[in-house]
Structures are given as C-alpha cells and as structure tokens.
Structure 1
Amino acid sequence: MKRSLALLLAAADAVLAALLGLALPLVAAATVWAARGLPAGGGDLTLRFAADTWLLSLGGALSVTLDEATAVGLGASGPVAFTLAIAPMGLTLLTVVVARRGARRAAAAGIARDGVIVSTILFAVIAGVVSAMTAMPAVTPILWRSVLGAALVYGIPATIAAVRPHLAEFGDEHPLLALSAHVAKGMAAGLLISSALVLGAGLIAGMGRVLSVFQSMHLDPMGAVVAGFSQLAMLPNFLVWALAWSTGPGVEIGQGASATMLGTNLGPLPLVPLFGVIPEGTAPWLLAAAVVPFLGTTLGSHSIRFGEDSFAPGRMRAGAAVIASLVLALVAGLLVLLAAGPVGPERLAWIGPSPLWTMLAVFGFALVGGLVGVFLPRGFLLGEVHDEEGVDDVALRRTVREAQDEEADDVDDERDEDAAEEQPRRRSWFGRRRRAADASNDTASDDDPDEDELDDEDVAEDEIDPEQEAWDAWVAEAEAEEAARERANEAEPEDVDETPDTSIRHRFARRRDESMGRTAGGLKRAIQRDDEPDIYADIDLDD
C-alpha cells in the first residue's frame, strides 16, 4: 500500500470515530424532538446536545450558566453557574475501539508512527472545531479540555495498538516488564469481572428502585427508550463506581452524601434510574463484597502459573506483581476522572468516587491478591494433583533433554560425574554403558595404558546395572543353547524341525527390541502427562 493512501486511511479513521461519536447522541435527541412534533428551534438544540455529549465523552467539560429566571424556576435564589464534566463512557469506549482499529491498520501498512500522529492530530482538531462552533452563552464547552481530552482518548489506545506487534521483542529483552504486563492483564480482567458481579448483584437487589425512578420520570414510550439507551451509555461509569465501592472508598453522591460498604447516607438524588442500585441503610453482610475484588486479582495473577511464566524466579514474580499493581492503580485513577465529576452547583459539585482513594485501594487489593496469586502452586485453585515428588512436567522435560544432550555429546569424565550426582538416578542402562565405554576409550588412548587401565573391581556398586548383568547372563545362556542345537543338527541332519526361527541372532534382536521398547516407553512416560494426547502414537520410538 502506498504511503499517501495509508495516511489517508488513517485520517479517515479519525473522521469515522468523530462521526460515530456524534451520530449516536444525535439520533437519540432527534428521536425525542420528532416524538414531540418537531417544535421550532428544536433542531438547533438537538445538534448542540449531540455535540456537547460527544465532547463530554472525550473528557471535556461544559461551563453552564443559568439566568435568574431559569434558576428561580429550579428553586435557586439567583443566577447559577457551574461546570458539567462527567463522561458517558459508553461513547468513550466507541472512540477507543475505532482508534485501535485504525492504528492496527496503519501498523500493518508500515506507517504506525505517522498514522497515529496524523489521526490523533486530526481527531483533536475536529473536537476543537466542534467545541468552538457549539459555544453559546448558556452552555459553553471549555476548548482546551475538549482538545486535550480528544488527543488523549484517541491517541493513547492508538499508540498501544500500534506498538503491540513490537512488544514481543521488547519482552525478550526485558522479561520482568513482559511478566508484569501478563500479570496486569490477568488482574485487570479479574477486577472487571468482579465489578460486573457487584453491579449485577446491585441491579438484581435494587430493580424495584430502578423501576420506580423510571416511573417517576413520566416518560412517553419514545422517551423511555431514549432514557434506556442513555443508561447504557453510563453503564461503564457505574462499573467504575462498583469497583470503588467494593474496594472500600465508596461513592460520593453530592456533598455530605456517600455510599460505602459500611453504610449509605444519601440526600436528594438526580433522577437517574441506575442510582437505584445503591443499597439503602447499613448491612454488615455488605462487607463480604470486599472478597470479590480480592478473588479477582488473585485468580487473574494466578493465570500466569499455567504457561511458561510459571517457572519464573520467585523474586521476578514478586516484582511483576508490584509493577502490575502500580499500573492498575494508575489506570483506575484515570478511569475515575472520566467516570466522576461535577454535575451541578453546590452539593452536586462532585458525584462519583475519589480518584486518590480509589487508586490507593486498588493498589492494595492488587498487591495482596497479586502476590498471593503468583505464588500459589500450579493448579492449586483448580484442584490439580501432582506426584509425590512434586516435580513439574516442564522441569522434567528439561531434565530429560539435558540427559539426552549429555548422552549424545562427547563429554569428559568430570562432567559425567557431576551430572550423575546432580540428576535423578533414572538414567537408562545404555547411558551408563556408554559412559563406561567412553572411559575405557579414554584410558586406551593414554601413553601408559597399564597405569590407567579401567578396573571393574574399582567401579562403585551403585554404578553396576542389574539389568545389564541379567542381559549378559541371558546372552551367554542363549549362545550355549545355540551351540548345543547346532551340534545336534550336525549329528542328525534329517530331523530338521520346521519351528520358528529361534536362533541366537533372532532372539538377540527380539530381546533388544523389547529392551529398547521399555526404555523408549519410559522416556515417553517421563515427558508426557496423563491428560495430554498421545502425540507419539505415529512415531517409531525404537528408531
């Protein structure tokens, strides 16, 4: 693909992300406008609503000023000015998905860096233009926050997606960071699932309160549909709130009102149906919810114990858990900044969790759960049972490969003695026989063969193989039987029996095949787990 065409596609992805972010709130607002009979001036308000909602999803903020008449109608004593800065994170996720898609395509075209830079700048420019065009005295988007938020929301996921193909090489050079990334991904998935479980339990328990809020809004069918979609756009926000609630800091619902596991103290709330999931009163059993994120981080970090990272040193695993906990705490703080913020004057100056306390709580849960997870034995949580010696399968494979390499290479006597002391005494008979043969060859090649002659009486008793002794005795017996049979055939040649071939050569080959089959089968059992498929079925192990 030509460079110019690839850059054009990267710019098109930025435009597509902006159009999708504007289209969804525009369709919702236009539906309500059409359901009310298309009143005059509604089209302009519809466009402004869609633009302001999209800018809020990028981390922007709106400066709202209510004149005296409007403020008095709402119960205030005079003009009111406040800032609205809470992002509907459902639209934010849409922008993130499109940004990652465009970055991957740019990386495939070989222009990862330039593609990300061009698309991010264009997306930020579009946000700035929309912010400037939709400004009005009552509601004015804050320009710098719109541009900066758009650049971060689009640029960060695009950059991560662009550099991801190169992370494998980076991980080879920095194994600690690679292991930390694996642990962080596992714990992030665990925290996400735990937050979803807590929020789902709250929805089930508070469904009656949610429906009562819907009914109190007195919406027509079309308005109810639009309100439902707006709650879906805010659903990721409530996932972040559930994380803060289950880890301890809780959620602030205006000045002097909060909801934590220790109890709920609420005042008048905005008419938001999902606020019905907040539990009422105080219940000691709610403290059990803290177990959910702990289990999430423990299971997530324990996932590395099922791959090659399972055999990383303990110090490296502990360091990876600490680094992953710091990363998750930072990400949790950034998510809280998007999921919470001011929505009105005075007591509504902040709604949502505290970024600082949420970061500290997530770091604590991730650190404790991560350390527990990375040091749990392999398969402990799934009930896998190991053998009595506790030898891991991969470690056993490595031992077998080392033994094979030692038998295949010409090594000196000192190295063989060290290997015999370190390795388990499971070497096959032909390995010990070959080692003795190598020692004999080295002795025969010396200048004074009489001085260094190998003496069988000096061999340690533990080096004598009983199987080899039985083999030699059987060969001697078979040779004697064969000699007697040949003498009998020479004496009576007419009495030749048509029995199967029982010559010493045939019997030797059969005994050799049986012995080699046992040896190959032992090696097969050493490197193959019971629950693995038999990948050696079509392989002649004797060859």
Structure 2
Amino acid sequence: MSTPQRPAAATRRVIGVPPPPAREPSPLDGGLPWVSGVLAAVQAVVLSLAVTVVPAVAVFVVTSADPSNVGVPWTRSVQIGAGLWLLGHGVPLGHVTLVPLGLTAIAWYTAYASARRSARPVPSAFLAALGTYVVLVLAVALSDPMTAGRAFHAAFGALVVGGLGLGAGVLRRGDADVLRRRIGRPWARLPQWLRAGVVGGVVGAGVLVVLAALTAAGWVLAGRAQVDAVVRGLGLDTMGSIVLAIGELGFAPNLVAWAGAWLAGPGFAVGAGSHFGPDAVTAGPLPAVPLLGALPTDLLAGGPSRLAPALLVVGGLVAGAVVHRRLVAERAWEPAAAAGVVGAVTGLLVALGVAAAGGAIGTGRMAAIGAPVWAVAGLAAAGAVLGAAAVALPAERLVRSAVLGGIGRPHREVSPPGSSAEPHEHREPAGTR
C-alpha cells in the first residue's frame, strides 16, 4: 500500500525592491569626461539666456505692428535680452551697473542643475565646463558693441557665477563621493573651532537673509497701493505686464539686500541725496518703477523701527547654537575664538551681498544706489559676535570652569604639590559632535 503523498509546501515568493539609484543615469557617462563638462556648460548658457531673450523676442513680435518699430530688426530684441543676461553676470550696459541679482541667481541655478545632470565628477569635466562657460559669456559680450569693451567684466562674472554653479552641481552628484572626500581633506585639517565658526557664520548670515526677506515682504504689502498706482500709470498691455513682472523679479534680491541694510541701521539710498533707514526717510524723485513703490516711507521711520538693529543679534544667537553643537572645546578660549570667526564670516558675506546689490541705473542722481557696504557689514559682524558669544560661551563647561576658577582663586588655599583642586573629568575627543 502506497503512502499518501504530502502536499507540497506552499512557497512564498519574495520580490526584492532594489534601492533607488543615487541619480538618474546620464547618456554621457560612457564618454570622455571633458565632453560632459562642455555640454553641461552649453546647456547652462542656453537655458539662462532663454529666460531673458525669449520674453524680449515675444515683446518684439507683439509690438511689431507699432509704427515706432518700423525698421527695427528682430535681432535688436535678442541683443536687449542678451544684454540683460550679461548684466546679471556683472557686465555694465553703458551707465547701468546695477546687477539684477535675480538673473544672477537664475544663471547660477542653471549652471548647477546642468552640471549635476550631465558633468562627470572629475576635475577635467569641471575645468572644461568652466572654460566653456567663460568662452560663451565672452562670445556673447563681444557680439554687442555696447559690451564689447567689457571683456574683463564678462570673464570675471562668468568665473564667479559659472564656477560656483558648476562646482556645486558637480559636487552634488550622487557618484561624486571621491571628489567630495578629496576636497574635504583640507577642510578636515583645520582646527575644530575654526570649522565650527565658519559654519556658524554661514548659518548666521542665512538667518539675516531670512529676516531681510521678511522685512522686504512687509514693505511690499504695506506699499501695494503705491505699486498698483505705478502699474496703472504705465498703461501696459498683457505682454508688457508680463515682461515688467519678470524684470521686477530680477531685482527682488536687491530689495532684500537693501532691507538687510535697513535692519542694520545705516539704511540705503536710491538716488543721490536720498536715505531710507529706520531712523528717517528722505526720498527724492524716483523712476516710475513698481518695485520702488514698495520702499519704506517716513511712516516706518522712528519709534520701534529704531530697535531694528537689535535683530542682528538673532543671527548670532542661532550661530552660537551651531558652534556649541559642533565644537568640543579642548581649551577655554576656543568658543570665544569660534564666536570671532562667526562675526568675521557673517560680516564678509553681508559685505559681498550689499556690494553686489548696489550700482547705478544712469547718470546724475541715479548713479548712487545701494548701501554703505562696510558700515552695514561691520554692524552685522558685531551683532553676530555678540549673539554667538552669548550662547556659545556660557554653554561651554571649560569656560564656566575658567570663569569660576578665576573668581574663586583669591579665596582658595594653595593645594599641596601633586594634588588637584578639581577632579579630572573625561571629555570626548574633538570631532565627535
């Protein structure tokens, strides 16, 4: 008699889910590294140029039936769009030197995105991308008689904008671990208090940017009636309104930088003889530009606005918390040194931002636009140092021990040789936090 067979055990099928790739593969991964850099730079230039050239051409097409445009070639609109793009790279257009930082940010982002998508994470790809970017910006500048004599400005602006954007994009690739480690080695060799201070300074400057952006947004809301009046007075059609809006957004970061100068106390000027500050407002005649309708009025001057510079300490407080978190002090002076670095880095970044946001939009009164760079940077640095020291120093045990030891030393008896007045406390090695 045969024994009944047992039914086969039910098998469970497990479908493994592969981990998501670090990034989407690029069709250029198998080619020469420098080729990927060249193509990334070309892509960045084309994309950022389109932001200004396409609207300019669209306006030309819409207004081509206007009798005032008879005999004007369509290439003139391309030159205007390319000129604005060059202005975003710091290339002056005649007497106009005020850089629309919004266009600068767009150029930076297109370089960043293109490099992250297409450039190989090797030095040759980055150098090829940067060289191509500089050559293309120079080619655009030399193609227009108005900017042909500004080759140095074009090359310098391309190096700064393209270098920062392309470099950040290459380092952000998922397969750039080797390159990131290579660049990170010199940084890791720096003293820990110096590294903590630099990071804290960057964070502190970022907090000031947020506060300035909120202040500028408040100005826009408070002055929206004046902005609407300027827009209605211009009598623009739909296409003109769109182009104007794009242009206004291009200068929005400049308004944020001016708001930062207002918070710091020195304020800023839009035209010679004008002053916009928390203490007083002296406004002269202004161009019919809607964005200028959002500038603070004398209703915001004086009173509580005089306390605006106290907000600079807020960035320092946040930076001090960052320093305390990142620094395991081995000596009592290290938190104070880190707070000093916080102030230096914050002041330097603020100086760069305020300097970039100033310039001229013509001759005469409008040749003076912006804020006093070093006055604003100095006050921002002082506020950052005070805030960082107020958090980082009391929170550090070594500082507290040194202060208490200094206070109590005159009242202590001399300990016998070889003895210790305080028990030894084990501390974590630097870099563990």
Task: Give me the TM-score of the superposition, normalised by structure 1.
Answer: 0.61
Please tell me whether the aligned partners of residues 110 and 165 of structure 2 are also in contact (alpha carbons under 8 angstroms).
Answer: no
Compare 116-125 and 242-251 and name the one that shifted more.
Answer: 116-125
Amino acid at match of 1:133: S
From 203, 215, 234, the equivalent of 2:251 is: 234
Larger RCO (alpha carbons 8 Å, 6+ apart): 2
Task: Give a deviation string over 1:179-229, Cα, whole Å, max 9, x none.
Answer: 123212321221111111211221222222222221222211221122112
Instruction: State the 1:377 CA deviation.
Output: 3.7
Q: How many residues align?
A: 363
Q: Distance in 1 between matches of 2:168 and 2:336?
A: 25
Q: Distance in 2 between matches of 1:356 and 1:188?
A: 15
Name the structure 2 match of 1:218.
Answer: 235
Name the structure 2 match of 1:31.
Answer: 58
Structure 1 unaligned runs (5+)?
A: 64-82, 379-389, 391-416, 425-543
Name the structure 2 match of 1:51.
Answer: 82
Is 1:318 matched with 2:336?
yes
Change beyond 3 A, Cα 1:422–1:153: closer
From 117, 127, 130, the equivalent of 1:117 is: 127
Change beyond 3 A, Cα 1:225–1:323: same
From 174, 186, 192, the equivalent of 1:170 is: 186
Q: Distance in 2 between matches of 1:421 and 1:266?
A: 65
Change beyond 3 A, Cα 1:211–1:135: same
Amino acid at match of 1:46: S
- What SS does the corresponding residue of 1:84 show, helix, strand or coil? coil
From 281, 300, 312, the equivalent of 2:319 is: 300
Task: Give a deviation string over 1:479-518, Cα, whole Å, max 9, x none.
Answer: xxxxxxxxxxxxxxxxxxxxxxxxxxxxxxxxxxxxxxxx
Q: Distance in 1 between matches of 2:52 and 2:274?
A: 30
Task: Give me the TM-score of the superposition, normalised by structure 2.
Answer: 0.75
Q: Distance in 2 between matches of 1:209 and 1:128?
A: 40
From 66, 89, 109, the equivalent of 1:97 is: 109
Please tell me whether the aligned partners of residues 191 and 243 of structure 1 are also in contact (alpha carbons under 8 angstroms).
Answer: yes
Q: Distance in 2 between matches of 1:247 and 1:85?
A: 24
Q: Distance in 2 between matches of 1:377 and 1:284?
A: 35
Q: Distance in 2 between matches of 1:2 and 1:299?
A: 42
From 87, 95, 101, the equivalent of 2:99 is: 87
Instruction: State the 1:50 CA deviation.
Output: 0.9
Q: Distance in 2 between matches of 1:192 and 1:329?
A: 13
Q: Distance in 2 between matches of 1:366 and 1:343?
A: 33
Task: Give a deviation string over 1:222-280, Cα, whole Å, max 9, x none.
Answer: 21122112111111111111111111221111111111111111111112212122222
Amino acid at match of 1:149: G
Amino acid at match of 1:216: G
Instruction: State the 1:54 CA deviation.
Output: 0.7
Is 1:251 matched with 2:259?
no
Compare 42-51 and 260-269 and name the one that shifted more.
Answer: 42-51
Q: Distance in 1 between matches of 2:195 and 2:425?
A: 31
Name the structure 1 match of 2:33.
Answer: 6
From 357, 363, 375, the equivalent of 2:393 is: 375
Instruction: State the 1:128 CA deviation.
Output: 1.1
What does residue range 90-489 of structure 1 map to in structure 2 within 5 Å? 90-101=102-113, 109-112=120-123, 114-136=124-146, 142-159=150-167, 162=171, 165-166=181-182, 168-174=184-190, 175-281=192-298, 282-305=301-324, 307-309=325-327, 313-375=331-393, 377=395, 422=424
RMSD: 3.0
Q: Distance in 2 between matches of 1:164 and 1:265?
A: 50
